[in-house]
Amino acid sequence: MYKDLFAGGSILTKLIMRRDRIRLVIWIFGIAGFVAALVPVIKEFFAEGDEVRVMLEMMQNPAMIAIIGPVYGAEHYTTGAAHANMMLLFSVIIGAIMNIFLIARHTRQDEELGRLEIIRALPVGRLCNLASCLWTALCINGILGVTTGYALNCFREAGMDLGGCMLFGAGIGSVGMFFGALTAVFAQISSNNRKVMGFSFLSLFLFYILRAIGDVKIEELSLISPLGLVLRTKTFVENNWWPIVIILGMSIILSLVALLLAMRRDLGSGLIAEKEGKSHGGGLLSSPMGLSLKLMSTAIIIWMLVVFIFAAMYGSIFGDLDEFLANNALLMGIFAGTDFSLIDQFITLLVAVMSMIAAIPVISFMNRISSEERHGYAEQILTKSVSRGAQFFAYLIPTLAVSVVFQLLTALGFYVAGSAVSDEIPSLKQFVQASLAYLPAFFVIIGVAGMLIAFLPGKTSLSYLYLGYSFFAVYFGELIKLPEWMKKLTPFGHVSRYPVEEIKVLPLVIMTLLGVGLLAISSIGYRKRDMEFS
Of 467 and 281, more confident: 467
* Distance set, CA 424 to CA 140, 270, 324, 342, 525 (Å): 49, 50, 15, 10, 50
Specify the pLDDT at position 311: 85
Q: How confident is the model at residue 474 (pLDDT cuts 50, 70, 90)?
A: confident
Question: What CA–CA distance (Å, rounded) separates 206 from 249?
Answer: 20
Q: How far is CA 413 from the centre of its chain?
A: 20
How many CB atoms are closer than 10 A to CB 362? 22
Of 336 and 315, more confident: 315
Average pLDDT over residues 55-76: 76
User: Is the per-residue pLDDT at 477 higher than 80?
Assistant: no
Question: What CA–CA distance (Å, rounded) separates 390 from 402?
Answer: 18
Q: How confident is the model at residue 325 (pLDDT cuts 50, 70, 90)?
A: low
User: Is the per-residue pLDDT at 336 higher than 70?
Assistant: no
Average pLDDT over residues 11-23: 89
Dihedrals phi, psi of 71, to nearest 5 degrees: -90, 125
Of 16, 179, 4, residue with least CA distance to 107: 16
Radius of gyration over alpha carbons of the chain, in Å? 24
User: Is the per-residue pLDDT at 64 higher than 80?
Assistant: no
Of 158, 445, 174, residue with least CA distance to 166: 174
Average pLDDT over residues 283-311: 84
User: Is the per-residue pLDDT at 467 higher than 60?
Assistant: yes
> 404-434 burial, b for 16+ CB within 10 Å, e for fewer?
eebbbbbbbbbbbbbbeebeebbeeebbbbb
Please report, for the chain, how many H helices and E strands are present, in that order.
26, 0
Query: Among 417-426, 464-473, 475-484, which range has the highest average pLDDT?
Result: 464-473
Q: What is the pLDDT of residues 162-217, one digit of tens each?
A: 999 999 999 999 999 999 999 999 999 988 888 888 889 889 988 998 898 888 88
Angle (nearest 5°) at CA 109 between 34 and 12: 80
Please list, in sequence order, all residues whose beta carbon lies within 8 angstroms of the beta carbon of residue 326, skipping any fewer than 6 positions away. Answer: 332
Tell me if 430 sits within 8 A of 499, measured CB to CB: yes
Specify the pLDDT at position 57: 67
Instruction: List alpha helices for 437-504, DSSP H.
Output: 439-455, 462-480, 484-487
Q: What is the pLDDT of residues 261-276, one digit of tens each?
A: 988 887 777 777 766 6
Average pLDDT over residues 241-252: 95
Mean pLDDT of the chain: 84
Going from N- to C-terminal start, the domains of the chain cover 1-37+87-273, 286-534
Out of 173-187, 325-339, 427-441, 482-496, which region has the weakest mean confidence (pLDDT)?
325-339
Q: How confident is the model at residue 143 (pLDDT cuts 50, 70, 90)?
A: very high
Judged by DSSP in three states, 338 sits in coil
Percent share of the chain, pLDDT over 70: 87
Q: How confident is the model at residue 46 (pLDDT cuts 50, 70, 90)?
A: low
How many CB atoms are closer than 10 A to CB 63? 23
Average pLDDT over residues 69-88: 84
Specify the pLDDT at position 253: 96
Average pLDDT over residues 451-460: 89
Angle between helices 462-480 and 439-455 (to 10 degrees): 140
User: Is the per-residue pLDDT at 339 higher than 70?
Assistant: no
Specify the pLDDT at position 270: 72
Question: What CA–CA distance (Å, rounded) separates 174 from 244?
Answer: 6
> 302-336 burial, b for 16+ CB within 10 Å, e for fewer?
bbbebbbbbbbbbbbbbbbbbebbeebeebeebbe
Specify the pLDDT at position 484: 77
Percent share of the chain, pLDDT over 90: 34
Average pLDDT over residues 427-445: 91
